[in-house]
């Protein structure tokens, strides 16, 4: 297959990677270049691809047979599954160069990198040759960067050697262009990308996300990374982000802080947002009360099925939460009035829209008590093939619901979100990397789709 002879790396980000049989094996997340010893252009040695289970692996550039605007195709179906780790003489193009502040040699003008081109010297050999920069003009001096509203900027494409500051001593680095690339990622994938960044860079990128996006990403990070990012935020901002998180996730995060830090942040949150978080933190760890979300979909028995279906179609609801509605007497905020039953969305789809949900709600399933231990929660959900179960207190009031994602989150090892943690048996991870990127001996490999290479 043919491939382009010049490729802009930012345009590769997120592209699907296919083996020779057409099976998708992952997505491109970055390109790896090896810096020259003295002079010359950095040589691109491979791509970083993200596999299922959030594993990032190295794909030697010589294994790539085609790159275009829609995909990257490999010439082999056998992949080395060792987790990618950057070495000292290597450069991650997107992570380290995008938004990097540089100087144009000819004019001494300040600029920031928006993209980098890799160019084929011969089949299987690529180098970084061109740099697209945003040059700032106006009220500034070289190496001084003002807010964009105070400058006029235009794009220029230059040879690699026409720009200084690309390698060597770390330079200041913004986040605008990198955020544009990361915006296409799902929260879990973005959280994975943040874990690959140096701590300072990770904190800068996280702080630049808006409150809702950062809340979604925090919920996908290991607890130690959550705490570190929260610590670098201004207190009012940290409180706003906690408000955007699901109450159970916010409670789990706050539980990792000291009592003084916890109370300070809860005090800065809006009372109606802090109240369910405080309530969840009162339950014993490992119980239904500690696992549950306090904001399931709750409706009165006289609500029509048409209204119930409209409610579960709201885009902010997770699939597990939207899979059913819980029927109670007023009030509708937890703890509610008397719990009546649950109506699953499949049942709602089978009934006339004008019917009321009180007539179709399932009432013969015993709810969980807040003190029900996790193993019993798992057993009952598995027995009845449920994606959520109601949690009802001793007064018959609905206080929340345990969803299948809550159960999975608390059933997996505590470090399951941590990219540095050992994968479960059979995941294919081998010993530490040998010095060579290619031609490794004893490397764990997997054959995708039966293709040879």
Distance of CA 29 to the CA centre of its chain: 12
Same domain, 208 and 173: no
pLDDT tens for each residue of 392-402: 999 999 999 99
Q: What is the pLDDT of residue 169?
A: 57
Report pLDDT for 185.
Answer: 81
* Cβ–Cβ < 8 Å for 111, 135: yes
Q: Does residue 261 share a domain with residue 244?
A: yes
Q: How many domains, the chain? A: 3
Instruction: Please give the Cα distance from 339 to 265 (Å, whole number).
Output: 32
What confidence score (pLDDT) does residue 139 get? 45
In a domain, 55, yes or no: no
| Beta carbons within 10 angstroms of residue 260's beta carbon | 8
Residues 172 and 224 occupy one common structural domain: no
Any bridge partners for residue 203, and if so which? none
| Look-up of token digits 């790896």 | 32
> Is 401 within the bounds of a domain?
yes
pLDDT at 425: 45
* pLDDT of 56: 87
Same domain, 138 and 224: no
Of the three residues 121, 146, 178, the one that is the final residue of a domain is 178
Identify the CATH number of the domain in which residue 201 sits: 1.25.60.10
- DSSP code, position 268: H
CB atoms within 10 A of CB 433: 16
Asked if residue 225 and residue 136 are part of one domain, the reply reads no
Judge contact between 309 and 353, C-beta under 8 A: yes
Pairwise CA distance, residues 179 & 422, whole Å:
29
CA atoms of 425 and 51, how far apart (whole Å): 17
Q: Indicate whether 321 belongs to any domain.
A: yes
Q: Return the closest-CA partner of residue 113 out of 162, 69, 49.
A: 162
Give me the percent of the chain exceeding a pLDDT of 70: 84
pLDDT attached to residue 153? 60
Residues of the chain with pLDDT under 50: 1, 139-151, 423-436, 438-442, 450-453
Task: Give 218-271 pLDDT, tens digit per residue.
Answer: 998 988 899 999 999 999 999 999 999 999 899 999 999 999 999 999 999 999
Task: Examine residue 19 and state whether it is found in any structural domain, yes or no.
Answer: no
pLDDT at residue 417 in the model: 62
* Domain-embedded: residue 362: yes
Helical spans, DSSP H, in 154-301: 176-182, 187-196, 199-208, 211-218, 223-232, 235-244, 247-254, 259-268, 271-281, 288-291
**CATH code of the domain covering residue 339:** 3.10.580.10
Question: What is the span of the domain harbouring residue 108?
Answer: 94-112+130-178
Per-residue b/e over 392-424, b at no fewer than 16 CB within 10 Å? bbeeebbbbbbbbbbbebbeeeeeebebeeeee
The answer on 189 and 166 residing in a single domain is no
Q: What is the pLDDT of residue 429?
A: 35
Spatial separation of the C-alpha atoms in residues 336 and 322, rounded to whole Å: 18
CA-to-CA distance for 25 and 94, rounded, in angstroms? 21
């Amino acid at each position: 297959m043919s491939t382009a002879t010049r490729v802009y790396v930012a345009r590769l980000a997120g592209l699907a990677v296919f083996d020779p049989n057409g099976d998708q094996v992952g997505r491109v997340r970055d390109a790896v270049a090896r810096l020259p010893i003295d002079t010359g252009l950095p040589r691109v040695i491979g791509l970083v691809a993200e596999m299922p289970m959030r594993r990032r692996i190295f794909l030697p550039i010589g294994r790539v047979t085609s790159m275009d605007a829609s995909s990257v195709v490999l010439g082999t179906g056998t992949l080395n599954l060792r987790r990618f780790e950057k070495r000292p003489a290597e450069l991650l193009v997107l992570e380290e160069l995008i938004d990097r502040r540089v100087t144009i040699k000819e004019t001494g003008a300040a600029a920031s990198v928006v993209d980098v081109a890799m160019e084929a010297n011969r089949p299987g050999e690529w180098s970084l040759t061109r740099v697209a920069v945003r040059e700032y003009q106006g009220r500034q001096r070289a190496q001084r960067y003002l807010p964009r509203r105070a400058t006029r900027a235009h794009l220029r494409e230059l040879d690699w050697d026409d720009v200084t500051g690309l390698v060597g001593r770390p330079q200041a680095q913004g986040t605008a262009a990198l955020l544009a690339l990361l915006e296409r990622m799902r929260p879990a994938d973005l959280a994975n990308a943040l874990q690959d960044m140096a701590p300072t860079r990770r904190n800068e990128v996280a702080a630049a996300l808006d409150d809702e996006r950062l809340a979604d990403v925090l919920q996908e990070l290991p607890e130690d990374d959550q705490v570190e990012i929260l610590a670098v935020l201004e207190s009012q901002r940290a409180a706003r982000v906690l408000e955007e998180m699901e109450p159970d996730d916010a409670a789990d995060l706050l539980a990792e802080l000291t009592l003084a830090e916890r109370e300070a942040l809860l005090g800065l949150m809006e009372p109606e947002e802090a109240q369910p978080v405080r309530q969840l933190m009162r339950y014993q760890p490992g119980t239904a009360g500690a696992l549950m979300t306090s904001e399931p979909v709750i409706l009165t028995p006289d609500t029509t099925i048409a209204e119930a279906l409209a409610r579960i179609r709201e885009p902010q609801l997770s699939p597990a939460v939207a899979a059913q509605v819980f029927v109670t007497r007023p009030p509708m905020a937890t703890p509610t009035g008397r719990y009546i039953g649950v109506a699953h969305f499949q049942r709602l789809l089978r009934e006339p829209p004008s019917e009321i949900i009180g007539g179709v709600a399932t009432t013969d399933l015993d709810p969980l008590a807040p003190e029900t231990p996790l193993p019993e929660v798992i057993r009952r959900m598995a027995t009845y093939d449920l994606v959520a179960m109601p949690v009802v207190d001793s007064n018959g009031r609905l206080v929340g619901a345990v969803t299948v994602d809550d159960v999975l989150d608390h059933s997996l090892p505590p470090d399951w979100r941590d990219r540095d943690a050992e994968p479960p048996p059979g995941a294919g991870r081998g010993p530490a990397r040998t010095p060579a990127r290619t031609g490794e001996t004893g490397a764990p490999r997997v054959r995708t789709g039966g293709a040879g290479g």
